[in-house]
Structure formats: structure tokens, C-alpha cells
């Protein structure tokens, strides 16, 4: 038996949950599948979002951020005092978005692993189930199966590793660490109340160095953070810019949103706000079938910022970067925006 729905959403992170809610609000029968047993767990995210995102809806804000401090190699921090944002509890945030989607009428199913998407659009599950829909929304992350099915694949990635550590004193800024020793990435210290997320990212060719890079960064902050490691996580971030966000599998329309569409910023790796926005738009487009209009909206919202970030990223990767080049490649500095 093949179960049928109007819209099938793959993934219930911020993009998928937002898509499922938007489509269900328009009266469509929506089935949304998530491989995790609990929404948002395990967390694979630094958990910072800009102030513009409506994180309050999920009741998941853990700390307000006021500024950004950027450390270039061994130099003192450059402070950007007006850089507002919020630190989330991503597990609570994701769970809240899934709850909103379910309240809107979406059939949200956790612990459902997709193993294959056939050429005719049939989605095959690990438990033997099969589903068909008029529209599939691929919100299933950087290595999206929906994206692979239509030939839109994230090929440029950053590998990350992060630990949660005790914070010795209150801190209201995000700290960024730029160094030639972190090719294609950077280090971060993001405070979250009494703890902080301490992490680093690099291009995949250097992922074997991540543990050492993070240990060195952790040791250098000994007067600010405790030695105890409370949690460890990691993941990949797409950094190649926006992909072709839609295609077809015979009669099935496929739309991509969030990381599956390559909407994470190629310099900062930030992707939560873009996931929420693109997910909502994908849900609306799935309900109407307006794929070209969906692509146009994504381009209007994200293309200019992604193109600039991609240029800056490629400049840094062309050669071992100087301190001046590192500044030009980071959003806190005027040179980035020139």
C-alpha cells in the first residue's frame, strides 16, 4: 500500500516545521517526516540567531546578545557594540515549531527514516512504508535526499565540532576567532546563561585537525570558561551558496528549503533564520504549486548576501590569508561590505 498526501515534508527542523505549518494552514493534507526520535535532539547547532527572527514563539530564548567581539589571530578583540541577537535552546525551539505545525493540522511523524526517493517520487521508509504526494518539500539538511533526487546537491561543506563548557562569568557578546589555522572556517564562543557553546569549523580536508584546534582554543580561554565538557556535538554546514531550489520527479514537484537549498551563509554558516523564512515560503508554494515564483522569492531574499559571502569565502581559500584578508572576509568589518 502507498499512503498519499497533498504535501510531504521531509525533515522537521526549522525549515520543515515552518513549511508544514504554512501548507497545513492553507487546507492541504500535510504529512511531515523526521528521522530524529525527538524534535531538535541531538542539537547540531551553535544556537545563535539574529534579533530579527521571531524566536519568542517557541519560548526558547536563553540569552540576549548585545555585541560581537572578533579576535584576529593573536590580536586583541575588535568590538562591534551593536550586534543584537539571541541564544536559543535549539531543542526547545524545534519542538515548539513542530508543535505549531501540528496545531495547524500537519501530521508530524518522528522517528521516520527515509531510505530512498524513487524516480517517480515515491518515498520509501526504513519501516517499509511508502508515501506519494503531489509536492515534496525537501527540508532534510545539507545532505538532502530530496535534493539528490532532483540533482541539487551541496558539494561545498564545512565540518564543525562543538563543546558546551561552563562560563565563569556572565558574557553578552558572541566571540569570533579568525585564524589561518582554521581554513574555510572560524572559531566561536557563544554564551548561553551559565554555559557557552565553544566550537570551530574547517573545510573537510582539515577535519582531522578539528579536535586539536578546539582543544587549543579551549585551553586559551581558561580564565573565562571551565575545563569540564558538558556536551559534544558537530555536523556539516553547506557553504556553496543557493542551489536550484525546485525540480520534478515525473508528476511530483520537489521544493528545497533551508540547508537543503544551500541557504546557509557561506562565511558565517548562519542558517536558522533562512530556514524559517524559506520553509514558510516553500509551504506556501507547495500549496499553490508556484515553483518559479518560489525561486524568485528566494533569489530576492538571499541571492545578494549569499553571493557576497561566497566571493569573500573564495578569496580566503585562494591562499594563506593575512590578518587584513581575514578582516575583509568577516562580517564585522567594513572591508567585508565594500
The reported pTM is 0.95
Residue among 47, 48, 85 nearest 66 (CA): 85
DSSP reduced 3-state for 81 = coil
Residue 89's domain spans which residues? 3-337
- Mean pLDDT for 86-115 is 96
**CA separation (Å) from 197 to 59, 93, 263, 332?**
20, 16, 23, 20
pLDDT of residue 57: 56
Q: Which residues pair with 61 in a beta bridge?
A: 88
pLDDT of residue 54: 62
131 has a pLDDT exceeding 80: yes
pLDDT of residue 257: 98
| Mean pLDDT, rounded, of the chain | 95
**Could you give the CA distance from residue 15 to residue 282 in angstroms, rounded to a whole number?**
9
For residue 50, name the pLDDT band (cuts at 50, 70, 90): confident
**Could you give the CA distance from residue 10 to residue 257 in angstroms, rounded to a whole number?**
10
For residue 337, name the pLDDT band (cuts at 50, 70, 90): very high
The 3-state DSSP composition of the chain as helix, strand, coil percent (nearest 5) reads 35, 30, 35
66 has a pLDDT exceeding 60: yes
For residue 55, name the pLDDT band (cuts at 50, 70, 90): low
Structure confidence by residue, pLDDT tens digits, 280-335? 999 999 999 999 999 999 999 999 999 999 999 999 999 999 999 999 999 999 99
274 has a pLDDT exceeding 90: yes
**Could you give the CA distance from residue 189 to residue 173 in angstroms, rounded to a whole number?**
9
Burial tier of 70 (Cβ tally within 10 Å: 0-12, 13-18, 19+): buried
Instruction: Provide the percentage of residues in the chain whose pLDDT is more than 90.
Output: 94
Cell of 220: 586559551
pLDDT of residue 209: 95
pLDDT of residue 288: 96
For residue 125, name the pLDDT band (cuts at 50, 70, 90): very high
pLDDT of residue 58: 56
Look at the chain and report how many structural domains it folds into.
1
- CATH classification of the domain holding 291: 3.50.50.60
For residue 59, name the pLDDT band (cuts at 50, 70, 90): confident
Burial tier of 31 (Cβ tally within 10 Å: 0-12, 13-18, 19+): buried
pLDDT of residue 17: 97
Structure confidence by residue, pLDDT tens digits, 155-172? 999 999 999 999 999 999
Amino acid at each position: 500500500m502507498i499512503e498519499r498526501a497533498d504535501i510531504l515534508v521531509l525533515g522537521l527542523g526549522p525549515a520543515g516545521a515552518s513549511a508544514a505549518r504554512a501548507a497545513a494552514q492553507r487546507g492541504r493534507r500535510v504529512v511531515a517526516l523526521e528521522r530524529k526520535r525527538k524534535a531538535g535532539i541531538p542539537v547540531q547547532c551553535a544556537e545563535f540567531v539574529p534579533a530579527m527572527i521571531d524566536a519568542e514563539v517557541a519560548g526558547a530564548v536563553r540569552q540576549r546578545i548585545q555585541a560581537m567581539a572578533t579576535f584576529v589571530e593573536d590580536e586583541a578583540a575588535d568590538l562591534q557594540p551593536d550586534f543584537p541577537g539571541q541564544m536559543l535552546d535549539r531543542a526547545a525551539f524545534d519542538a515548539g515549531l513542530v508543535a505549531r505545525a501540528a496545531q495547524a493540522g500537519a501530521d508530524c511523524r518522528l522517528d521516520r527514516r527515509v531510505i530512498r526517493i524513487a524516480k517517480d517520487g515515491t518515498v520509501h521508509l526504513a519501516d517499509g512504508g511508502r508515501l506519494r504526494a503531489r509536492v515534496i518539500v525537501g527540508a532534510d539538511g545539507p545532505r538532502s535526499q530530496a535534493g539528490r533526487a532532483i540533482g541539487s546537491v551541496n558539494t561545498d561543506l564545512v565540518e564543525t565540532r562543538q563543546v558546551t563548557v561552563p562560563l565563569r562569568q556572565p558574557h553578552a557578546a558572541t566571540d569570533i576567532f579568525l585564524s589561518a589555522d582554521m581554513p574555510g572556517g572560524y572559531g566561536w564562543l557563544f554564551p548561553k546563561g551559565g554555559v557557552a557553546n565553544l566550537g570551530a569549523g574547517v573545510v573537510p580536508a582539515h577535519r582531522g585537525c578539528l579536535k586539536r584546534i578546539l582543544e587549543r582554543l579551549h585551553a586559551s580561554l581558561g580564565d573565562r570558561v571551565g575545563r569540564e565538557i558538558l556536551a559534544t556535538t558537530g555536523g556539516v554546514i553547506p557553504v556553496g551558496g543557493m542551489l536550484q531550489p525546485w525540480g520534478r520527479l515525473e508528476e511530483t514537484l520537489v521544493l528545497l528549503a533551508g540547508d537543503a537549498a544551500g541557504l546557509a551563509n557561506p562565511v558565517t554558516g548562519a542558517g536558522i533564520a533562512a530556514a524559517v523564512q524559506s520553509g514558510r515560503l516553500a509551504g506556501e508554494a507547495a500549496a499553490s504549486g508556484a515553483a518559479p515564483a518560489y525561486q524568485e522569492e528566494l533569489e530576492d531574499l538571499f541571492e545578494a548576501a549569499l553571493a557576497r559571502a561566497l566571493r569573500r569565502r573564495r578569496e580566503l581559500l585562494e591562499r594563506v590569508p593575512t590578518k587584513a584578508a581575514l578582516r575583509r572576509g568577516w562580517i564585522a568589518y567594513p572591508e567585508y561590505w565594500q
